[in-house]
Structure 1
Amino acid sequence: MIDINDLNQIKDTFSRILDLSLISILVYYIYKNVINSYSTNLLKGMLIIISIGIISYYLNLYTISWLLNYIANILPIAIVILFNQEIKKIIMQIGNFNLAFKLSNKKEETLKVISEILKAVKHLSENKSGSLICI
């Protein structure tokens, strides 16, 4: 007979595996997009600054620690600004994984969607107006 504690252990194990898998995928996409771009030097510089911060903390270098703590407060905004192209690429790759079309193998639905998009594009062309179409 299965004990409730066994079920909780299975659930916890599954949650940990799922969590690690999602983090691994995220790290892979970040690595894939950052390593082949100009942002590699920015990333190296940030790692050096973090290393200096850790060393200054353990050596009790108060001024450097204070300065790096001040910088750390604006770091999330700086990361978004400095790595905006890579963040866009990652989000676009996530968006390209179109689960709805992959799950439905019905050609009728796909053809209907394509037909509607073509109608919309024709209407926009006739009105000479532009639009951004996300699929």
Structure 2
Amino acid sequence: MVFRRTVAALALGASLLSSSIFTTPLIAKESECNIHQGPCTITSGSHSYTLNIEPKPVSAMKELTFSVTVTPCNRLSDKLLLDLSMPGMPMGKNQVTLVRKSGCSYEGKGIIVRCMSGRTLWKVTILADEPTNPAFIFNVR
């Protein structure tokens, strides 16, 4: 009896996931990035976002300079916020404030902490006034 209910629940869940209300594209977009080779770009919504981190290779526990270029940037504020997290691993809040340097370029300094588990996969999500919030996924050394 319990087995039948479980199978029925799984079937219902699968049918809901395949229904049209759950297949609309997400607003946020993620892109895998080899940040050690150079800047990475992603298009999300009506904007193009380019992330660069210096110095290279990007390492944990070093002060890093985060640079983001957004085009077009005519309606963005003078500050952006980067949220640094690890996919699948709860970490403490780690955010970097970027200020507009010139035109559509933003810059700020921060540190990527070392994960005690030894994992190196990180995610940088750009939090802006626009509803897209693109994310870059990369490994640190």
Q: Structures share a fold, TM > 0.5?
A: no
Larger Rg: 1
Which of structures 1 and 2 has the larger relative contact order (alpha carbons within 8 angstroms, sep 6+)?
2
Task: Determine which structure has the larger helix proportion and give its number.
Answer: 1
Task: Determine which structure has the larger strand proportion and give its number.
Answer: 2
